[in-house]
Amino acid sequence: STQSTWGSQCTATCGGGQKTRGRGLRVISMKNMGMCPESQQTVPCNENPCDCKLSQWREWKECSCSTNLKSRTRQILVPTTACEGKQLEETEPCASEECCIPLEWRPWGQCSASCGGGQKVRGRSFTIIGTQSNQAMCPESQQSKPCNENPCECKLSQWTDWSDCSCSTNQQSRTRQILVQTSACIGQKLKEADRCIPKDCCTPGNWSPWSDCTAPCGGGKKKRGRGMIMKGESKHITCPESEEVEPCNEDPCECKLSKWSEWSECPCTTKRRSRTRQVLVPTAACKDQQSKESERCIPQNCCTPLDWTPWSKCSATCGGGQRTRSRGMDKLSYDSYCPESQQTEPCNENPCSCVLGEWDAYTDCTCDHVRTRVKRVLVPGPNCKNPPQYNECSATGCPDNW
């Protein structure tokens, strides 16, 4: 048998179709016809879903004031399975002005108050289209706004003169009256009192001389007093002060200190030495004075260095290297202060000569048909020239116009 190629086109461009192919059979005997294999095959094709093509939405229809809705539609241009469930009609509520048309506002009414804040209102009517239920779609039919918000003046009389100071309460008072009653008068004080010193209830005597100061320096106090002649027997009589106190001798007292002692020996363990001084005349000024101080020091006899070892071999034969040497320490304690135990210095600072080795391998052939190679630098040095060597070659994979 001879198999043919898929000859038929797919039965659908999208959404799933079929295509077939066939082949001829050479039958040697009609009795063997039932033993022949299939002469035709069918397979699915173009199984990707088809897009649903829809028209644009039409313009909105006029609002139905009976349903308070308006609608618009669209059509299916290419029906496919993807069109199932597509919305072909949609509705939305009408705007309020389509079924309820407001008329002009009437003028504002008079203010409800001449001062202190009132309200004035205005209204308007509507033309309702459709059922009376469309009245619910109408906008506001009345507006209000504040007016005459300036406060009403509360007219009060002048305050009366202060009354005599009471020897029993030590207070005096005065009053005033409301001449024109308004809301602004609420909370206005019509009576007030003030503390006072009665002049004829308690007569002070003469001040006594000042007492001696309580301290010769550093700030002390001195005081004086006077007697009172009281009229009446009331316990509420208030007299002026009978005693005065004021500061004296406020200049600071000098703090007398001894000289600092000699510095102590430098310990091998703490490496800090100290010295002290004493207060000879204790005063308030001595409070912040330091009586002991310490400082860091270097112990002299705590660590004895041994002899230096010979210098080590230089780390480089040329071009600059380093060599080191060290020495041991004889310590009196583990944490004793010691001088340096190792030294480092430069060596063989003369420049090295340049030494080149064998040629490196050639680079890949470039599209300029050239390859290069350089010698390996074994020992770098001044004036180390290493020019590359070029060689012609045949390049592959280059553009035709190279």
Continuous H helices in 59-202: 96-99
Q: Three-state DSSP class for 397?
A: coil
Please, are residues 55 and 77 in contact by the beta-carbon 8 Å criterion?
yes
For residue 79, the tally of other CB atoms under 10 A from its CB is 11
Please give the pLDDT value at position 324: 94
Please give the pLDDT value at position 255: 81
Question: Cα separations (Å) of 182 from 26, 64, 120, 155, 178?
Answer: 124, 57, 21, 8, 9
Please give the pLDDT value at position 1: 46
Measured CA to CA, the distance from residue 138 to residue 99 in angstroms comes to 8
Please, are residues 390 and 372 in contact by the beta-carbon 8 Å criterion?
yes
Tokens of 374: 């350089």
Please give the pLDDT value at position 276: 93
Please give the pLDDT value at position 134: 58
Please give the pLDDT value at position 402: 55
Please give the pLDDT value at position 68: 72
The pLDDT averaged over each successive group of 10 residues in the chain (402 residues) is 61 82 73 72 84 86 74 85 83 70 88 85 81 66 88 86 81 88 82 82 86 85 87 63 89 84 85 89 78 85 84 86 89 69 89 81 85 82 78 80 58
Identify the CA nearest to 259 among candidates 285, 273, 278, 286.
278
